[in-house]
Amino acid sequence: MKKLSSIIAGGLAIGLTISAQAGTLEDVKKRGTLSCGVSTGLAGFSQKDEKGVWSGLDVDVCRSVAAAVLGDASKVQYKPLTAKERFTALQSGEIDILSRNTTWTHTRDTSLGLNFAGVIYYDGTGFMVSKKLGVKSATELDGANACIQAGTSTELAIADYFRENKMNYKAVTFDTSDQTRTGFESGRCDFLVSDQSQLYALRIGLKDPSAAVVLPEVISKEPLGPVVRQNDDVWFNIVKWVVNASIEGEFQNVTSANAKDLRKNGNPGQKRLLGSEGDLGEKLGLSADWAYQAITQVGNYSESFERNVGQDSPLKISRGLNAQWNKGGILYSPAMR
Amino acid sequence: MFYQKTIEQIKTDTRPSSAGAKAFYNNPKYRGWIYQSLLLIFLIAFFYSIISNTLSNMAAQGIKSGFGFMTTSAGFDVLMSLIPFETTDSYTKVFIIGILNTILVSIIGVICSTMLGFIFGIAYFSRNWLIKKISIIYVETFRNIPVILQVLFWYTAVLTTLPSTRDSLSIGEAFFLNIRGLYIPRLIDEPKSFVVYIAIVIAIVAIFFLRRWARKRQDLTGEQFPLIWSSLGILLGLPLLALFIAGVPFHFEYPELKGFNFQGGINVIPELMALAIAMSIYTGAFIAEAVRAGIQSVPHGQTEAARSIGLKERKIMSLIIVPQAMRVITPMLNSEYQSLVKNTTIATAIGYPELFTVFAGSALNQVGQAIEMMFMSLAIYFALNMMISFIMNQFNKRVAITTR
C-alpha cells in the first residue's frame, strides 16, 4: 500500500511540474552562446561556406545580438531549420531567436505564442519562370504548375492571387528551398514562387541563371524579421533594439570603421547610440557598449545589406524599399533616446 | 486475468480457513477490484495532470489551443486530391485528403509488395539457377538500402529525368508519360452504363455460386471443374455482352496538352509513383523473406508425400506447401503491412501530399497548433494499423491450424 501511494505521489509530482518560463537573457549569458535558428541554406540570408562559417542578412541579426549581449559576435550556435520546423523550435526553447527570412503575419504573431521583433527586409512574393516559356506577366500563368516551399506564407499568397485572377494552378510543394529549385530546374513545375529576395538567391544557384527570369509582379507583402518567444519582454526588447540600432547606425552614419572615433568625438545622437552618453544599454539590461559592439563587429544595416545581398554580393539586390526613409525607402528606427 | 482468478479461487477453496483469511481485504476478488480501481484512479489523475499542465503552459505562452481551426479555410492548394478541393475549403477537408492519400498509397503498396514478395519468395525455391539467384539478389539489394534513399532514387534519378510535357513519351496519343507523371484516359459514364455495372455484379455473384457448386461436386465425386478459366470467362463475358447490348455506353476522355499542362484524363503524379514503387519494392523484399521462411517451415516430408500421391509440382506448391506456409507467413505479413503504412510518411521528402506531409506539415505550419494536429495524425496512423491488425488477425484465424 505504501509503495503504491508513493508511486501515485511521484506520478502526480511529475505531471504537475510546471515548466518555468525562464528569462532568455539569463539563459544566454549563463550558456555563453546564443542559439539562433536560421535557414538550411539561402544565399544572402543564411548560408554556410566551405569552412562552416555562417553569413547572411539573417545571420547578421544573430551576430549583432550576440555582440550586444555577450560582447562577441562569434558566440552564436546556428541551428539550420526548414520552414516547417522553425516555429516549434522556437516555442520549445531549442533556439533563443529565430532569424530565418520569416514573414511577419497577423496569425503567426497572435496564435503561435511568438513576437516579431521588427523588420530587417521588406519583401514580396514574386515569380521566376524559365525564359523559353516566353511568359512576360504572371497573368499568363493560368493552368501552370508552381514549385513552392511547404509551410510558408507564399503558399497562401499564391492561392489568393490565382483565386483573385480566376486562374488555376497546381502546387508542387517541397520541404526546402533547394528542393524547389531542383523541381523548377527539372521541369516538374513551370514557375517557382517565393519571396523576391529568395528568387534572386535561387536564380544564381541555377545551372544557367540567364535561362530564368523574375517576373515584374510582386503579389504580397512579406516583411521579414527576427522572432522571439512571447512573454519575455526583456529579451524581446533586446532583439528589437539591436535591430533598431543597426538601422539607426546607418541613419547616424555610424559604421564599423568610424564607430571607435565617433564614440569619443561624435554628435550627441551618435554618442548615445554608442553608449558614451546616456544609459540606453543599462535600460535593456546590457552593458553600455551594446550597440557599439554590434556595430563594430557586424556593421550597420547598410554595411550588412551590401555585404550580403547588395552590390558587394553576387545577388546585387538594390536597396529599394529597404533604404532609409529619407532616401526613398521605408526603413525607420524609432528614436534612440 | 480470469485464469488467475480461478486459480486463486481454487487455492482459497482448499486453504484451511482462519480469521485473517475471512477479512474482505484478503478476499482475492475484492482485493483485485481495489487494486484495479486504484490503478484506474492513478491513470486518470496522471493524464489529467499532464493535459491540464500542457494547456495551462500553452495559455501562459500565448499559444492558441482547441480545434476551432478545423472549420477555417485552409487557403493553400494541395497537389493531389481524390475528392474535389478548392483553396477556400476547410482544414477538415485537408485532413480528409491527407488520410485518403495515405490510404491510397498504402493500398497500392500492400497489393504490389505482396505480389512481389510471393513471386520472389517462391522463386527462391526454383530449380532454375538464374531465377533463384535473381530472387536472392532482389532480397539482399532492396532489404539493405534505407527506404528513404530508394524513394529519392525513384523520384530524382528516375522520374524527374523523364522528358518535359512538350516532348512526352506517348502510346497512341492516349497515354502520356513525362516529368509531371503518367496521364491516362478517363472512362466517362453515359446514361445507360449502369447495365454494365449490373452485369459485373451478377458475374461476381454467379462465380461465388459456381465455386460452391464446384467444391461440393469435387467433394462428392472427386471430379474437378476448371474453375479459374470459367470464372474468368464469366467475369469478362457477361459485362462484354452487356456492353454491346447497351451499345457501348462509355466514352474516353483523353488527356490533351493545353497551355502548360495536359488537361483531362487521369494524372498519376510522379510523387505517388515514386513512393508506391519504392514502398512496394522495399516491403516486397521483406515479404519475400517471410514467404521463404514460411515455405521452409513446412517439413520436406509433405512435398515427398504429395509427390508420392502423384500431384504435379505446381499443384504441390499451391495445394500442399503454400497453405501450410501461410500459418507462418501471415503474422509476419501483418507487421510488414503496418511498417509500410508508417513508412509512407517518408513522402514528406518528395512532397507527396499524404497525411503527414499535408496535415502534420503544411497545415500544421499555417495553423501552428502542433499538439492537436500531431495528436490527430497519430490517432489516424494508430487507427489504420489497428484496422490492418484486425483484418490480418481474422485472416490468420482462417489459415491457422484447425485440428480435425
Structural domain harbouring A138: 125-220
A157 chain-B contacts, CB cut-off 8 A: none
Interface of A with B in 195-224 (CB under 8 A): none
**Are residues A198 and A242 located together in one domain of the fold?**
no
Measure CB to CB from residue B76 to each of A11, A17, A155 and give the nearest one. A155
- In-domain check, residue A322: yes
Residue A316 lies in a domain: yes
- Tell me how many helices (H) and strands (E) chain B has: 15, 8
Interface of A with B in 13-42 (CB under 8 A): 15-19, 21
pLDDT value, residue B390? 95
Tell me if chain A has a CB within 8 Å of the CB of B87: yes
* Cβ contact B105:B279 at 8 Å: yes
Q: Is residue A265 part of a domain?
A: no
Residue B20 confidence (pLDDT): 58
Domain co-membership, A174 together with A38: no
Position B242 pLDDT exceeds 90:
no
**Are residues A236 and A207 both part of a single domain?**
no
Tell whether A65 and A196 lie within a shared domain: no
| CB-CB under 8 Å, A156 with B261 | no
Inspect the interface and report whether the beta carbons of B366 and A83 lie closer than 8 Å.
no
Mean pLDDT of B366-394: 93
* Res B4: pLDDT: 57
Q: Count Cα atoms within 13 angstroms, Cβ side, for B402.
A: 6
Q: What is the pLDDT of residue B174?
A: 85
From the number of C-beta atoms within 10 Å of its C-beta (0-12, 13-18, 19+), residue B227 rates as middle
A212 and A233 housed in the same domain: no
pLDDT score, position A193: 94
Q: Per-residue pLDDT averaged across B195-200, rounded?
A: 88
Q: Provide the pairing of β-strand A191-195 with A144-149.
A: parallel
Domain-ending residue, one of A220, A238, A265: A220
State which amino acid sits at residue A70: L
Does residue A271 sit within a domain?
A: no
ipTM: 0.79
| Res B28 pLDDT > 90 | no
Residues from chain B that touch A7, judged by Cβ atoms under 8 A, are: 42
> B404 falls in which pLDDT band (50, 70, 90)?
low
B165 and A CB contact within 8 Å? yes
Domains of chain B: 2-57 (no CATH), 91-185+254-399 (1.10.3720.10)
Mapped onto helix, strand or coil, the DSSP state of residue B172 is coil
Q: Which chain A residue has the Cα nearest residue B89?
A: A159
User: Can you tell me the mean pLDDT for B32-56?
Assistant: 92
Kindly tell me if the per-residue pLDDT of B221 is higher than 90. Answer: no
Name the one residue in this structure whose C-alpha cell is 551576430. A63
Query: Looking at residue A239, which CATH number applies to its domain?
Result: 3.40.190.10
Whether residues A130 and A215 fall in one domain: yes
Q: CA–CA separation, B279 vs B341, rounded Å?
A: 9
Is A53 among the domain residues?
Answer: yes
Residues A71 and A140 in one domain: no
Nearest to B76 among A87, A159, A183 (CB): A159
Calculate mean pLDDT across residues B338-345.
95
Instruction: For residue A169, give the nearest of B58, B77, B263 by CB distance.
Output: B77
> How far apart are alpha carbons B44 and B185 in whole angstroms?
56
Question: Is residue A88 located within the same domain as residue A111?
Answer: yes
Averaged pLDDT for residues B50-59: 88
Same domain, A195 and A212: yes
pLDDT score of A56: 95
Query: Residue B160 pLDDT > 90, yes or no?
Result: no
Q: Is A234 contained in some domain?
A: yes
Looking at the structure, tell me whether residues A244 and A116 fall in a common domain: yes
Q: Which residues of chain A have pLDDT under 70?
A: 1-22
pLDDT at B125 over 80: yes
pLDDT at A80 (0 to 100)? 95
Q: Same domain for A216 and A231?
A: no
Q: Which of B91, B154, B361 is nearest to A83 (CA)?
A: B361
Domain count, chain A: 2
Asked if A83's CB is within 8 angstroms of B45's CB, the reply is no
Q: Do B61 and A229 touch (CB under 8 A)?
A: yes
Range in A189-198, B13-22, B310-319 the model is least confident about:
B13-22
For residues A137 and A212, state if they share a domain: yes
| Single residue among A200, A220, A240 that ends a domain in this structure | A220
Measured CA to CA, the distance from residue A124 to residue A223 in angstroms comes to: 8
Question: Using CB atoms, which residue from B87, B260, B362 is nearest to A150?
Answer: B362
Note the pLDDT of residue B168: 86
Is A19's CB within 8 Å of B57's CB? yes
Residue at A12 is within a domain: no
Q: Does B84 touch chain A (CB under 8 A)?
A: no
User: Regarding predicted confidence, which is higher, B259 or B392?
Assistant: B392
Higher pLDDT, A148 or B165: A148
Nearest by CB to residue B61, choosing from A4, A91, A174, is A91
Residue A235 included in any domain: yes
Tell which of A186, A220, A227 to mutate to test the B interface (max B CBs under 10 Å).
A186
Whole-number pLDDT of residue A14? 45
3-state secondary structure of B238: helix
At B259, phi and psi to the nearest 5? 65, -125
- Tell me which chain B residues have a C-beta less than 8 angstroms from the C-beta of A113: 58, 61-63
Residue with cell 563594430: A296
